[in-house]
Chains A and B, each alone.
With several copies, the nearest count.
Chain A
Amino acid sequence: MNTSVKIGNTEFTNPILTASGTFGYGKEFAPFMNLDAIGGFCTKGISINPRKGNPEPRICETSSGMLNSIGLENCGSAHFLETILPEIAGYKTRIIVNMYAQSVEEFKTLTEILDAEKRIDCYELNLSCPNVKSGGISFGTDPKIVEEVTSTVRKTTDKTVIVKLSPNVTDITIPAKAAENGGADAVSLINTLAGLEVDVKKKQFALGNIIGGLSGAAIKPVALKLVWQTAKAVKIPVIGMGGISKLDDVLSFLMVGAAAIQIGAANFINPSISEELAVELKSYLQSENKTLQDITGILL
């Protein structure tokens, strides 16, 4: 049963990937699952220099979900290349480095730093982070900047370039088309929904950073709608994510047009869920006597 998916020049053995920030650098999950059982995984968002991230508390539980304001704490590109990549280079699964930068130049520099590394298969550009140059409003909201960042990275690398979109926009198809025009191999969506929680007893915000990103089953309907809308608006593959926790969720995203999916916060609930869903998807396709292409996009 062939479940492989081609995105850009990267062949994934199956469409089950894991989402940035919820899978560490992969090795944290090795004790619990066979990393080669999934198509690939996204690393924590990497920036040129290490980042401390936001003040505590940084996570807070919500109804059927969680808020996080980690603030993209990461080890920085140098440490990633020298220490972390060698530890995960041995796996066969595809490695997608999620990139975090605060200007077009930074995205270019970061790509150049990483590009020599053969073992990195794809880049996922996190465009929902604040663009310091334009007063902190996120990159993802201005199509011109989305296109500029995408085409700049496109010219700097032959690796597969995935542009990750934020749901906190009026019309997500605008940044999606801008990424397509910029030469992206695919778009991935959705990043977290902006939200906050109040600790009523302490009469304080629950998160140190006040605003955080909402993930988990609660946001799945919003993610499905935006994936369906985007899959109809662009020709490049769409990678869907947002609240995926069971096989039906995987199938829902595939049916509305996602070529592959990413599992995020559900990795915290069951560290081997991504492998389990890859196995369940195969047996579903076998029992229905269908190929992946048979169900992808049937509701478009």
Chain B
Amino acid sequence: MSFNLVTPIIEKKVLNKDMFIITVNCTEKPLAGQFVMIRSVSKFFEPYLSRPISVYDWKDGRLYMLIKIVGKGTELISNLSIGNIIRVTGFFGTNYPINGKKLLLIGGGIGIAPLYYAAKEAKTEKTEFILGFRSKDDVILKEEFSAIGTLNITTDDGTAYFKGNPVNYLNENLKEIDNETVILSCGPKIMMRGIEKALKEREIKHYCSLDTAMGCGMGACLGCRIEVDGNSKLICKDGPVFDAETLFNERRK
């Protein structure tokens, strides 16, 4: 069932200067990897379009959203306080397949957002994360992620944990990953493509969640279209989760 809520922010947690979590009441239960469209509700239409935001967590009828301030829209939302009204519509998009025995979730920057709920919902024997951040003070939600899986953190500048990005970490540990592992990823395109390259000789399933500017988020505007294997796909409707192998087709090269 879908929803189109005009609802107050009931909780707000600022993690660092450009990351924060807001919470709203939402009785519908999302699937792993789905997202909502959110906007501040006011007399003005600025910014004009709503913003796609993943489900970071959902429990007891509450939807948690982890947001990074990138531009105008996310900045506007970051200035809102508890009690301010926002419009939340959803749940949109396809879900991460989370029935694999072993899960390896790889996230880059704000890409970590959909991985928490996905890992929580998964019934797996082994859940492992590789989460990449720019530097030490960008690392967030360590307790939360380590509580639900083995957490490996990378920092580009090496000021803490593994020096390098998630793909470097993956390449160095490829041997320990058996073919039963399913990889779920979200982050910059180069990271997802890098994962595919790393899996060249491997039979490992890898599903990635794509990011793009969106008009409607619900399959009506055709603004989020990409070509996959020669045919038209809508990131908001046929995705955002795609089979990375077909999408990047790096493995056959």
Residues of chain A whose beta carbon lies under 8 Å from any beta carbon of chain B: 21-24, 28-29, 31-32, 44, 52-53, 56-66, 68, 70, 73, 216-217, 245, 265, 267-272
Find the residue from A24, A32, A268 having the highest chain B CB count within 10 A. Answer: A268
Contact of B213 with A268 in the complex, beta carbons under 8 Å: no
B47 within 8 A of A: yes
Stretch at the interface among B136-144, B149-157, B171-179, B215-223: B215-223
Add 13 more A-B contacts to A267-B220, A271-B89 (CB < 8 A). A22-B220, A29-B220, A31-B1, A53-B232, A57-B212, A58-B222, A59-B49, A59-B214, A59-B215, A59-B221, A66-B49, A73-B232, A268-B216
Q: Give the distance to chain B from A262, nearest Cβ to Cβ, in Å.
A: 14
Nearest B-chain residue to A31, judged by Cβ: B2
Interface residues of B (CB under 8 A from A): 1-2, 4, 39, 44-50, 87, 89, 212-226, 232
Chain A residues with CB under 8 A of B2? 31-32
B87 x A64 contact (CB < 8 A): no
Q: Is the CB of A269 within 8 A of B213?
A: no
B220 — which chain A residues lie within 8 A by C-beta? Answer: 22-24, 28-29, 267-268
Given A31-B1, A269-B39, are A60 and B222 neighbors across the interface (CB < 8 Å)?
Answer: no
Cβ distance B162 to chain A, nearest Cβ, rounded Å: 30
Q: Is A270 a contact of B213 with CB atoms below 8 Å?
A: no
- For A32, the closest partner residue in chain B by CB is B4
Q: A61-B213, A216-B48 are in contact. Are A56 and B226 (CB under 8 A)?
A: yes
Known: A52-B232, A59-B215, A61-B213. A269 touches B221 (CB 8 A): no
| B89, A217: Cβ atoms closer than 8 Å | no
Closest to B43 in A: A246
Question: How many A-B pairs with Cβ below 8 Å?
Answer: 97
Contacts of A32 in B (CB 8 A): 2, 4, 89, 218
Interface contact A66-B222, CB-CB below 8 Å? no
A265 to B215, CA, bound (A): 9
Residues of chain B contacted by A23 (CB below 8 angstroms): 220
Do the beta carbons of A65 and B4 come within 8 Å of each other? no
Q: Choose among A58, A73, A217 the residue with the greatest number of B CB atoms under 10 Å from its CB.
A: A58
Q: Which residues of B contact A56 (CB under 8 A)?
A: 212, 225-226
- Say whether, besides A56-B225, A58-B222, A60-B213, A216 and B45 are in contact (CB < 8 Å): yes
Contact residues in B for A57 (Cβ distance below 8 Å): 212-213, 223
Q: Known contacts A61-B213, A66-B215, A268-B50; is A22 also within 8 Å of B221 by CB?
A: yes
Give A267 to B45 CA distance when docked, in angstroms: 13
Residue of B nearest to A73 (CB): B222
Q: Which of A52, A59, A70, A216 has the most CB of B within 10 A?
A: A59
